[in-house]
Each structure stands twice: as C-alpha cells, then as structure tokens.
C-alpha cells in the first residue's frame, strides 16, 4: 500500500480535499492529510496540523496570523510546505502528493512540490492550470490538472474532475518505472532545437556508443533551465551544449529566454562540456502578429503558425559571441568551443532564409576575440547538422570527460 499526501488549505478547501482523500483510500492507498491554511479552523481533520507544519518550518504561526496579511501567510506557508514535503519524502513517509486550490493554494502547494525530486508523483488541481504556468511548475514534473470550476464545493463538474484527479495520482503511485538496464550509465545532457536535431542525434548516438546515457533538452527556455538544474545537481558527467539559442532570446527579447544564468551550471560544477553557438541566428516569437512593432524591418521566417523566427543582426551576433565567450571563460572543468563555419542552423546555411555571412562572421569573431587563452577552439568547415561536425562535438566531449 502506498501513502499519498493530501496537502491543502483545509479552512477553505477542506470538503474537497476530504472528497479526494476518500477516493484515494477506496483505491486501497493510505492518506496523509496536511493542513497549510491560516484563516478559519480546518473543515477536515488533518494528520499534520498547520501548527505542526509551522513548527517544523520554524514559523511563529500565532504571530503570522495576528498580522492579518494574506500575502505574507501564503508566502510563509509555501516555504513551510517545501520543508515539510522534503522531510516526509526523505523519511519515506509518502509516495505521492496531491493538492487542490485557487491562486493561494496553488502557490503554496506547487512551491512544496518543486522541492521534491523529478519522478516523484505530484499533481495539482488548480483554477490556474492554463496559460503561462511556468512560475508554478518551474523545472519540475508537476502535473497541473484544470479544475474547470472553482474549487468551491462538490458539484456535478467538480465531482468528475476531482474523481479523475484522484484516479490520476493513484495511477502515478501504482506505476513502477521499468528498469531499462541503464541506471548505472553516467549521464550526459544535450541541448537541441528542431534546427539542430540531426547534429544532436548523431552526437548522441556516438556518445551513447561510448557507454553514456544522453538526456536531450529542448532549448525552449524551460528546457535550458531544467538542463542547468540537472547539471548543478551533480548528476551530469558531461554537457553537449550544442544549442545555445536561448541566449539570443534573452538578449533581444524573444519568448524562449532561459535567464541570465544559462551556461553557468557547468562552470560552477566543473562538468566537462562542449559549447556551440547553435541557433544563435534566431530569436523566437509567437504567431507573426505577436512580434513587437519595433522589429518590423527585420528578417523573419515562419517556422509554423505559432512560431515566428527573427534573424539576429551582425551587431547582436557580436554581442552574443562576447556573452558566450565570457560564460565559457568561467568554466573550471575541461571545455571546448566548436564553430560550424558553414551554418549554425538549418536555415542559416547557404540558400537558407537566414543565410547572412556577415552576421556569422561577427559571431565567430567575437567568440575568438573574447575567449580566454587555453580554452580549445575547434573550427569545422561544415554546417552544424553535417555528420562531420556532430562527430567533432562527440569526440571533443569524450576527450574532455577522459581528462576529468
């Protein structure tokens, strides 16, 4: 029998959490009800009270409640939820977690869920499960389940939604992840975009043939942040950072920036890496009508109806080259920079929509100018997706790992 934690603000959502708890127990699982409310008395008796939650997290609950500041209460209990769930997981006292809530409840519960490791079952039934949910999910595998109606009683809609949600979390804890026989292989992480797929897949094949497991992350902002998080955790033995395109969005203002710390994790950990200016020729926007008017005179490519790509200029490329070099200069472990001289994406090759030799020259020139002495720089007379370049990337990384 598994134990599923049911965490929520039981003063306002007690009946709904109780309904879910009964469904879970009917499936043969145990429940651990945790109260993180701070207003009225709980409407469902918890196994771990709000007072106990506050004590574990070192919070003066009476003083917190006395200030009558809802925002402060949500922030405090969110931090407390993270502490409590982390403790319960470490002690092996829960096998999954589910919560139901509106804005405050979602903020509290997902903060706690983000503190749990990847692969641990976590499900949030939320009124906010649509639109941009990045702040709630972060880089973790939280399942957001739309509540459709507000979490405000059991009715013909909520009964269906909550029943399905209870079944979903039960199914998650009941599912055993099969052992594919690769658990003992060291991990290499790789960044990829549609425009660098051939390169990454070929390099992945070669690195896996050398005895590694390669995890590929889509360079969409969230993908880059997730990859950085995994590197920083110490799980990665090497980094195939072939697609650093998120820096173009970060610099110019596209939709897929990964933040200013992209490329920092390997520097901190000393993880062997190769770095390539893959897809720095493009900035990502949504549908064409969403592109800011200030870019109206720029060169565009319609990747699909929902994605519009904008070509980076020579000036932007020079700036990006300097950023890339300065990031790599901070690396303590073995690192190699590789330049595909004929194209940094499919569409920047000769005859492609983003072919602009002057822009590429500005990018490469800035990298070479600002890269510190002693860091290997390999120039390959090939496009990024040519087999020769992929092989150069794989070989350089394997050599770096061997040095480590």
What is the model's pLDDT at position 177? 79
> What is the reported pTM?
0.80
**Cα–Cα distance between 47 and 87 in angstroms, integer?**
15
CB 401 within 8 A of CB 272: yes
| SS3 state of residue 141 | coil
Task: Say yes or no to pLDDT of 404 above 90.
Answer: no
302: β partners: 308
Residue ranges of domains in the chain? 3-174, 187-403
Q: Which residues are CB-neighbours of 130 under 8 A, at least 6 positions away?
A: 146
Q: So what's the pLDDT on residue 15? A: 96
Give 312-347 pLDDT, tens digit per residue: 999 999 999 999 999 999 999 999 999 999 999 999
Does residue 69 contact residue 136 with C-beta atoms inside 8 Å?
no
The 10s digit of each residue's pLDDT in 102-158 is: 999 999 999 999 999 989 999 999 999 987 888 889 888 999 999 999 999 999 999
340-364 average pLDDT score: 97
CA-to-CA distance for 219 and 244, rounded, in angstroms?
7
Around Cβ 31, how many Cβ atoms within 10 Å?
A: 20
The DSSP code sequence of 247-261 is HHHHHHT-S----TT
Residue 181 has pLDDT above 90, yes or no: no
Helix, strand, or coil here: 35? strand
**pLDDT of res. 139:** 85
> Considering the chain, what percentage of its residues have pLDDT values greater than 90?
91
According to the model, what pLDDT value does residue 71 have? 93
Structure confidence at residue 99 (pLDDT): 98
Domain 187-403 in the same topology as domain 3-174: yes
- Residue among 327, 343, 338, 341 at smallest CA distance from 400: 338
pLDDT of residue 182: 55
Query: Would you state the torsion angle of the CA atoms of residues 224, 227, 228, 230, taken in this order, to the nearest 10 degrees?
Result: 160
Neighbours of 62 (CB within 10 A): 9
The whole-number pLDDT of residue 85 equals 98
Average of pLDDT values for 281-300?
Answer: 96
Q: For residue 40, is pLDDT > 80?
A: yes
At residue 183, the pLDDT reads 63
Mean pLDDT taken over the chain: 95
Q: Which CATH architecture has domain 187-403?
A: 3-Layer(aba) Sandwich (3.40)
Assigned architecture for domain 3-174: 3-Layer(aba) Sandwich (3.40)
pLDDT of residue 180: 58
CA 294 to chain centre: 30
């Amino acid at each position: 029998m598994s134990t599923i934690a049911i965490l929520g603000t039981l003063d306002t959502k007690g009946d709904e959490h109780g309904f879910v708890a009964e469904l879970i127990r009917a499936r043969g699982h145990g429940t651990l009800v945790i109260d993180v409310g701070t207003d009225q008395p709980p409407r469902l008796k918890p196994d771990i009270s709000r007072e106990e939650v506050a004590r574990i997290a070192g919070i003066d609950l009476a003083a917190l409640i006395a200030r009558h500041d809802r925002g402060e209460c949500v922030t405090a209990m969110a931090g407390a939820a993270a502490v409590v769930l982390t403790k319960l997981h470490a002690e092996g006292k829960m096998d999954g977690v589910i919560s139901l809530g509106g804005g405050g409840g979602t903020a509290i519960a997902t903060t706690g869920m983000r503190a749990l490791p990847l692969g641990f079952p976590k499900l949030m039934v939320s009124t906010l499960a649509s639109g941009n949910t990045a702040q709630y999910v972060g880089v973790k595998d939280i399942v957001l389940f739309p509540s459709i109606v507000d979490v405000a009683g059991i009715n013909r809609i909520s009964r269906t939604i909550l029943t399905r949600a209870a079944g979903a979390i039960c199914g998650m804890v009941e599912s055993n992840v099969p052992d594919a026989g690769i658990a003992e292989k060291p991990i290499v992480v790789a960044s990829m975009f549609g425009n660098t797929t051939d390169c990454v897949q070929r390099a992945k094949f070669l690195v896996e043939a050398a005895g590694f497991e390669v995890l590929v992350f889509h360079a969409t902002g969230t993908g880059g942040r997730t990859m950085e998080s995994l590197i920083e955790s110490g799980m990665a033995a090497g980094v195939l950072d072939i697609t650093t395109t998120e820096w173009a969005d970060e610099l110019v203002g596209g939709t897929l920036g990964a933040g200013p710390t992209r490329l920092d994790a390997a520097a901190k950990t000393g993880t062997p890496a190769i770095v390539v200016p893959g897809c720095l020729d493009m900035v990502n926007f949504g549908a064409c009508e969403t592109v800011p008017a200030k870019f109206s005179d720029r060169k565009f490519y319609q990747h699909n109806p929902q994605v519009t790509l904008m070509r980076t200029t020579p000036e932007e490329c020079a700036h990006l080259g300097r950023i890339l070099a300065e990031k790599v200069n901070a690396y303590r472990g073995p690192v190699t920079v590789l330049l595909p001289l004929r194209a940094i994406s499919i569409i920047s090759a000769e005859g492609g929509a983003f072919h602009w030799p002057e822009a590429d020259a500005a990018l490469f020139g800035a990298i070479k100018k600002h890269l510190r002495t002693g860091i290997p720089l390999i120039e390959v007379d090939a496009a990024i997706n040519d087999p020769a370049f992929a092989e150069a990337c794989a070989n350089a990384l394997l050599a770096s790992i061997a040095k480590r």
